[in-house]
Amino acid sequence: MQGRQEIQSILPEVNSSYQEFTGLGKRMMDNKLQALQLQENLIKTRDQLDSDADDAGSLLLDLVDLEDSNDTTKRDIAAAASAVDNSITSIVSTVYDLVATTEQSKYELINKELGYIIGEAQTKLEYINRHGEGVVKPNVLKDINQQTAGIFKCSKVLIRFSNEKASKYSCY
C-alpha cells in the first residue's frame, strides 16, 4: 500500500516530465522539417539562378561579340559585357558555396562577397546601358536588363533564405 502511495505521489511529476519531453520532441521535429523545407527552397532557387545565368550568358555573348569592332565604344561595351558574364558566373559559384555552408561566419563572409560581386555587375550593366544607347538594339538591352535583374533578385532571395537558415537552425 505504501509503495502504491509513493508511485501515486510521483506520478504527476512523471506525467509532467513526459509531457515536456514529447513537446520538446515535437518542436525538434518541426524545426527539422522547417530546416529541410528551407534547404529545399534554397536548392530550387539556386537551380533557377543557375538556369537564369545560362540565359543571361547567351544574351551577353551578343555584346561580347562586339570586341572585334573598330569602334572603341563597341569594344568597351564588349569588355563590360564580358565582365558582367564573369560576375554572373561568380555569383552562381558563390551561391553554391552559400547554400552548402553551415557556419555562421562563412555565411557572413559569403554574403559580403556576393553583395560585392552583384554591385560590380550592376555597375558594368549601367555602363552598358549608358553607352549602348544607339549602339546596341534596344530589345537586346531590355532582355539583358530583365535577365540580370532576375539574377540579382534571386541572389538576394538566397541571401535572405541563407541568413534565415543560419539564424534559425544553427546549433550555436
Window from 76-90, 103-117, 125-139 with minimum mean pLDDT: 103-117
Section 75-100 average pLDDT: 93
* Number of folded domains that form the chain: 1
Query: Does residue 17 have a pLDDT over 90?
Result: no
Closest by CA position to 89, among listed 144, 151, 159, 154: 151
Sign of CA dihedral 140, 146, 147, 149: positive
Which helix (DSSP H) or strand (DSSP E) does residue 145 occupy? helix 138-169
| CATH number, position 30 | 1.20.120.230
Q: How many CB atoms lie within 10 A of CB 32?
A: 11
CB 124 within 8 A of CB 64: no
Confidence of residue 4 (pLDDT cuts 50, 70, 90): confident
Residue 129 is predicted with a pLDDT of 95
pLDDT of residue 11: 81
Residues in the chain: 172
For the record, the C-alpha cell of 76 comes out as 568597351
Give the range of the structural domain holding residue 113, as residue numbers without chain letter.
Answer: 2-169
Supply the pLDDT for residue 165.
63
What is residue 169's predicted lDDT score, i.e. its pLDDT? 44
Q: Comparing 121 with 6, which gets the higher pLDDT?
A: 121
What is the value of pTM for the model shown? Answer: 0.77
